[in-house]
């Protein structure tokens, strides 16, 4: 039984430019769009029209002063927001379109117009803090989407999974005190942005609702799949999310120039299958992904294609295949899994 998968794509996302030779380039999306427009692919998806995020949607995560500051860059030449994050004249509009496009994808999944969706937008978002741009990110798309699900659709439990190479500091900080959002991140550590230690588990009412799995470089398909199966899956099934949002960073691809992880397109598809299994168990399959990093353009495109084929149910990585991956995981990953399990044991039952 194939699924109906929605896609957010729009040529306006190519208008944001961080400058010559910047890794977060319009070419990233241009290559994905070319793949999606291929006659073998284009008929498979339901296109979701993006829109600009409203002031209220942005202000659910970002401070009014910060939103005004970014608005002030509209029409300006190159404005440096931080050492890595630069605006062009169209960046404010494009960043609003990225956040709003993701919110529309969430709407379409919640109303049942599509089963799941992927928002292929830029600029990315998960490093953006309430009052600061960071790490190529201007507005925090996934955090804005999570608040949209809570405020517009009355969701009580949102799971945000972040498999990007870099820790989503902005997303973590947005919900650090908030038990409505469970934030789960795997990331290379210690590495940019320096956050995401295992002991960062939330604060106050949100304690236990942040789960960080910091990793050395070199983890590949089997290690990631084992982490997702041994930590994420039991925690998520206990949390019982009403929707799953994914910060889909493809910079853990094995040839990515910014990282040293070893994930293949098949590995990405298997990780998506684990998320789909959780979504099927908890929330009628409701799952919405948004693009974050991924700087090897061919690898990004191949990996996104594999993920989409899984979302459509064309590949359907089986439980046996997932178990095979797990069996091949490097033994060293076991100590990380047991350390994370011990850290979150007061909050979640694992195994």
**What are residue 45's DSSP bridge partners?**
5
Sign of CA dihedral 245, 249, 250, 252: negative
Ordered strands of the 45-47 beta sheet: 45-47, 5-8, 116-119, 287-291, 243-248, 158-162, 181-188, 210-215
- Answer yes or no: 127 catalytic: yes
DSSP calls for 58-124: HHTTS-HHHHHHHHTTTT-S-EEEETTEEE-TTHHHHHHHHHHHHHHHHHHHHTTSSSEEEE--SS-
Rounded Cα distance, 79 and 72, in Å? 10
DSSP code, position 314: S
Q: Which of 62, 127, 166, 296 is catalytic?
A: 127
Euclidean distance between CA atoms 118 and 291, whole angstroms? 8
Residues with Cβ < 8 Å from 124, sequence gap 6 or more?
24, 136, 137, 141, 249, 291, 292, 293
- Which residues are identified as catalytic? 127
């Amino acid at each position: 039984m194939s699924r109906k998968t929605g896609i957010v794509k729009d040529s306006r996302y190519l208008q944001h430019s961080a400058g010559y030779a910047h890794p977060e380039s319009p070419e990233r999306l241009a290559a994905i769009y070319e793949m999606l427009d291929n006659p073998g692919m284009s008929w498979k998806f339901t296109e979701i029209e993006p829109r600009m995020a409203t002031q209220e949607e942005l202000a659910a995560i970002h401070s009014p002063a910060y939103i005004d500051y970014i608005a002030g860059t509209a029409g300006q030449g190159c404005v440096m927001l931080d050492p890595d994050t630069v605006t062009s004249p169209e960046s404010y509009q494009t960043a609003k379109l990225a956040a709003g496009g993701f919110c529309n994808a969430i709407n379409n999944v919640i109303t049942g117009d599509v089963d799941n969706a992927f928002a292929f937008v830029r600029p990315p978002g998960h490093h953006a803090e309430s009052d600061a741009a960071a790490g190529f990110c201007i507005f925090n798309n996934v955090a804005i989407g999570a608040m949209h699900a809570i405020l517009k659709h009355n969701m009580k439990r949102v799971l945000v999974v972040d498999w990007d190479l870099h820790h989503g500091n902005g997303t973590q900080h947005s919900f650090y005190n908030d038990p409505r959002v469970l934030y789960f991140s795997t990331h290379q550590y210690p590495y940019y942005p320096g956050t995401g230690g295992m002991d960062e588990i939330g604060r106050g009412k949100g304690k236990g609702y942040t789960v960080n799995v910091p990793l050395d470089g070199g983890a590949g398909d089997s290690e990631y799949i084992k982490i997702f199966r041994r930590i994420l899956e039991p925690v998520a099934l206990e949390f019982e999310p009403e929707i799953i949002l994914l910060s889909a960073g493809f910079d853990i691809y094995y040839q990515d120039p910014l990282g040293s992880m070893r994930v293949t397109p098949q590995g990405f598809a298997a990780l998506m299958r684990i998320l789909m299994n959780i979504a099927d168990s908890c929330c009628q399959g409701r799952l919405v992904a948004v693009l974050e990093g991924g700087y090897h353009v061919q690898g990004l495109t191949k990996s996104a294609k594999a993920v989409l084929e899984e979302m459509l149910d064309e590949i359907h990585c089986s439980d046996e295949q997932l178990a095979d991956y797990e069996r091949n995981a490097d033994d060293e990953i076991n100590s990380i899994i047991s350390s994370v399990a011990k850290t979150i044991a007061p909050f979640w039952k694992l195994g």
